[in-house]
Structure 1
Amino acid sequence: MVFLHPAFTFLFIFLFFGSVLELFQYKKKTPVFTIIAGVSLIVLGGFRYYVGADYPAYKNLFVGFSIYTDYSDVFKKALFSKSKEDIEWIFVLINKVIFDLGMPFYMVTFVMALITVSLKLSTVYKFSPLPTLSTLFYFMPVFFFEDSGQMRQGIGIAICVFSFRYIVERNLMMFLLCIYLALGFHKTSIVFLPAYWLVKIPMNSKKILWALIISLLLSPLEPYKLFGEMFSSLLPQVISGGYDAYVNDSQFGGDLEYGLTDIVKIFFIITLLIYEKKGSEKIAYFEYMRNLAVFGLCMFYLFRGTRIFAIRLPGVYMFFLTMFVIPSLIYAVEEKAKKALISGYMLYLTLMYFNFAKSNGNAGRFTPSKYQNVLWK
């Protein structure tokens, strides 16, 4: 049996029991769990040393940006002007400033972790009725793939998630500013642009089911190919070009195989369909979160024909499904259903821990023998 490094294991146990206490004993938001978890995740992710699948590539880029990139190239990129720089401008700017100040690469990972964890968990605490459980869903395994791996997309998602408060407030200018900043870290952030209007679509269980069925039936027609021309005509080349690169990607362009992910999503969908009305009655802005989650599920099924789209594009919307919708439904249902749901999802998260440790722990260097941190290595 494979375990993650003790720091990750203890944090999992802490959040596991904290979630149960928050739900059944305290019966209200308890900030201490989220704060301790947030600080721990910033330290574990921010000061990691050669940990995470993309770490070597990011470290090589750190030197490359600083030697071969001028600040003028960065700011041209910020204005969507032609630039020799291919990577998103805010990420390049952070790397270059830190390098020019003579600081080591782990300051890049620290700044990225500080921003992304703070934005995600502050939003989780504000809008989830069970922030400790939401944090546990985030930790296992989103934190490892996004914020200790694909850092640029992770922080893009974090800014989009943070922008949810401006969707609630109907503050379009601040929402658009967030989208612009998110694009400064990862092109896929553009997919969250419709969120401002999606939240207002009237939905119920029947409509949700039909939306998912239609998405699944349309999947073999490869509808994602229709977006290429639209993106080329409406969006700057740096974004539409990124779309074309994804479609033609030789490694991730193939079909997404059916597997564990689909089984888990079926349980999520069943929970949503059965208890959606309860959530709408008891949780503030649940309808907004529900609509975003449903759109993410529809995207997942529509884009199954290309693996990288099915995995990457719905990411920010799926964040609302697992970190907001499911915990909200667990909170909203009656006591008997609450116990059944929390038992089932805690079992799922425990199995996810062991599955992740076995399948990705060693490869990502998250195990006791491989994980290193600059604070104590």
Structure 2
Amino acid sequence: MLIFVFLAVASYMEIFRLEKKQSVFVWIAALLIILAVGLRIDVGADYPVYRMLFSGFAIYTTYGDVLDKALFRPNTEEIEWIFVLINKLVFDFGLPFYIVTLVMAMITVSLKFTTIYKNVAFPALAIMFYFMPIMFFEDSGQMRQGLGIAVCVASFKFIKERNLPMFLLCIYIALGFHKTSIVFLPAYWIVKIPMNQKRIFWVLIIALIASPLELYRLADGFFSTLAPQDISGAYSGYVDDKYYGGQVETGLNDLVKLIFIVILIRYDKEGCDEVWWYEYMRNLAVFGLALFYFFRSNEIFAVRLPGAYMFFLTMFCLTNLVYAVNGRARQLLYFGFMIYFIAMFFYFGSGNGHRGGFTTDRYKNAIW
């Protein structure tokens, strides 16, 4: 609640009073979120599993196993090597598990917030998009993927600079946190595709039409021949996963995405005219939406694979469009987004927020 109120006030001040970005808002938000996420105890959907793995890594894993995993050599490790290395180092130094979550929070928040500040005109609003609700699902839940996405987002610097070796290094590091990061590899070239309002519309329509055909099944053979074994194995395993291999349910999420798509298409020209590198951000966002609709018949693919790309939709494109327009259009976008945040606050709090332990009666922190 404290972070929500702070970001609401900070975003309003940035947009309508100061009319420019303020680094102090980003620093305060980063500190609050790192403390809330990094030092939490028994909070988050995957927390018990990560805590259980903590001692397991140290007992059953050697640094040689970590090196073999890093070099794609035959090994028995199923979890990504940088994540295992962080856990083992913390355990070997005799430190508690919440130091692992603290280190992870510091890495992911610093990478994401630094990239946001450099590329977004109103970073406080972008951080609000991150906080509600990505922070809870990624960096307080699916932490490994949150770290992988953070490195992918940070690689945007090298995409802009057209520095392919450094970009590939970022992808390699991201794979050390979560194997789904391989999906971000085409981003380096996707940003160069010429797009406009009509092309955005038709790309998403084609992706939606192709969804029932389940064309992604054809990629199984491709991954088994070209990708490292753990990536191809994960892909094959999730194609018919008995828990998450079904179709994405139609609901509120679809309405929200439809509104975001309308905004993205309606103000595309303004974004291209007023925001540096907007075309790059927009292409990544559109590709993320296309991935979501293309994989809609498989829930785990639709949710996991577009992750890094969807980051550019909300935190980068939608926030920068608030800057790109003026007058009533700016007011309409901002207050529309705030209504969405408030609705998400209560909707999330009454459901996943309570089950994950984020409510006042269940949340615990190492500090208090």
TM value normalised by structure 2? 0.99
Q: Report the Cα distance in structure 1 between the residues aligned to 2:219 and 2:278, rounded to whole angstroms.
A: 29
Q: Which residue of structure 2 lines up, in the alignment, with residue 239 of structure 1?
A: 231
Q: What is the alpha-carbon distance in structure 2 between the residues aligned to residue 336 and residue 343 of structure 1?
A: 10
Separation (CA, whole Å) in 1 of partners of 2:332 and 2:354:
33
Map of 2:82 onto structure 1: 90
The answer as to 2:363 corresponding to 1:367 is: no
Is residue 2:112 matched to residue 1:116? no
Distance in 1 separating the partners of 2:220 and 2:93: 41
Q: How large is the RMSD of aligned CA atoms in angstroms?
A: 0.6
How far apart, in 1, do the equivalents of 2:89 and 2:241 lie? 31
- The aligned residue for residue 276 of structure 2 is 284
User: What's the counterpart of residue 135 of structure 2?
Assistant: 143
1:297 to 289, 292, 298: 289
2:290 and 2:219 map into 1 onto residues whose CA distance is 15
Q: Shift of the alpha carbon at 1:362?
A: 1.3
Q: How many residues align?
A: 368
One-letter amino acid matched to 1:79: L
Q: Which among 15, 25, 37 is matched to residue 23 of structure 1?
A: 15
Q: Distance in 2 between matches of 1:39 and 1:302?
A: 37
Residue identity (%):
58
CA displacement 1:112-150 (0-9 Å, x = unmatched):
000001100010001011100000000000000000000
Aligned to 1:170: 162
> 1:48 — aligned with what?
40
Counterparts of 1:231 and 1:216, CA distance in 2: 23
TM-score normalized with structure 1 length? 0.97
From 181, 195, 203, the counterpart of 1:203: 195
Structure 1 residue identity aligned to 2:340: Y
Please state how far the C-alpha of 1:334 moved relative to its aligned partner: 2.3
List gaps (5 residues or longer) in structure 2: none
Distance 2:234 2:126 in 1: 31
Query: Quick one: distance in 2 between partners of 1:322 and 1:226?
Result: 30
Matches of 1:338 and 1:16, distance apart in 2: 16
Contiguous gaps of at least 5 residues in structure 1: 1-8
Q: 2:58 aligns with which of 54, 60, 66?
A: 66
Instruction: Give the match's secondary structure for 2:351.
Output: helix
* Counterparts of 1:274 and 1:182, CA distance in 2: 33
Q: In the TM superposition, what are the counterparts of 1:170-189 in structure 2 within 5 Å? A: 170-189=162-181
Alignment match of 1:256 (pick from 248, 251, 267): 248
- Provide runs of 4+ in structure 1 moved above 6 Å: none
- 1:369 is aligned with what amino acid? D
Partners in 1 of 2:3 and 2:160 — Cα distance?
32
Deviations 1:67-125 (A, max 9, x none): 00111111000011110111000100110111011111011000000000110001000
3-state DSSP class of the match of 1:226? helix
